């Protein structure tokens, strides 16, 4: 088995729906996504001969996902009234609406699934919500 690892960070606001505690309030994190790739065999020909994948291709794919979320308000679809969303948008805030509760676990899966869709051999995504706490997702 051969592996690669890269990471990217993004700053986003969020709140947890149906959470009884401080995380039900709007707050922010510097999220850190650490992505691992794994393959049995290295590429056999071409510019990536002897590689899992070019680090440049890998880091760009992870950074693009992080940049799309950076300095946005991550909103679970249906968690805010349409009038609230409209007011935030009218103020010029960048919202990133997702069809899942904005937990570290779901964000790890979101990164993993997007990268798998792009054809990357993802073995694990770690999503750090704080320097000490991270969720782990391994695509099947
Ligand atoms: N399994 C999960 N548990 C929690 C998640 C999560 O995504 N997955 N998320 C939260 C909240 O988003 C919250 O912001 C995190 O709270 P906490 O761990 O208390 O983080 P702090 O930055 O406040 O850390 P301190 O150690 O208290 O400074 C909650 N749980
Ligand atoms: Zn949080």
Q: In this structure, which topology does domain 2-137 adopt according to CATH?
A: Tetrahydropterin Synthase; Chain A (3.30.479)
Q: Is the dihedral of CA 111, 82, 92, 16 positive or negative?
A: negative
**Least distant ligand from the CA of 128:** 1
Q: Where are the beta strands (DSSP E) in 1-132?
A: 2-14, 27-39, 72-76, 95-98, 122-128
21/125 Cα distance (integer angstroms) = 27
What pLDDT was estimated at residue 126? Answer: 98
pLDDT at 112 over 90: yes
Residue 140 confidence (pLDDT) above 90: no
Q: Name the closest ligand to CA 20.
A: 1
pLDDT for the residue 110: 98
Which pLDDT score, from 0 to 100, does residue 18 have? 92
Ligand 1 neighbourhood includes 24 CB (under 6 angstroms): no
What are the structural domain ranges in the chain? Answer: 2-137
As annotated, the active-site residues are 23, 71, 129
For atom 22 of ligand 1, the residue with the nearest CA is: 130
The helix or strand, by DSSP H or E, that contains position 134, with its residue range, turns out to be strand 134-137
Question: Whose CA is closest to 31, among 127, 111, 102?
Answer: 127
**Are the CB atoms for 95 and 72 separated by under 8 Å?**
yes
pLDDT in tens, 25-60: 999 999 999 999 999 999 999 999 999 999 999 999
For the chain, what is the mean pLDDT? 97
Q: How far is the CA of 124 from the centre of ligand 2 (A)?
A: 21
pTM higher than 0.90: yes
pLDDT recorded at residue 24:
95
């Amino acid at each position: 088995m051969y592996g690669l690892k890269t990471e990217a960070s993004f700053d986003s606001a969020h709140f947890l729906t149906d959470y009884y505690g401080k995380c039900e309030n709007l707050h922010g994190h510097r999220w850190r996504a650490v992505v691992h790739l794994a393959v049995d065999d290295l590429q056999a020909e071409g510019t990536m001969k002897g590689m899992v994948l070019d680090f440049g291709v890998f880091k760009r794919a992870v950074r693009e996902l992080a940049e799309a979320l950076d300095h946005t308000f991550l909103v679970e679809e249906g968690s805010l009234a349409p009038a609230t969303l409209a007011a935030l948008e009218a103020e010029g805030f960048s919202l990133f609406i997702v069809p899942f509760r904005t937990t570290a676990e779901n964000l790890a899966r979101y990164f993993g699934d997007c990268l798998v869709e792009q054809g990357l051999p993802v073995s694990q995504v770690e999503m750090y919500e704080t320097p000490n706490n991270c969720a782990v997702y391994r695509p099947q």
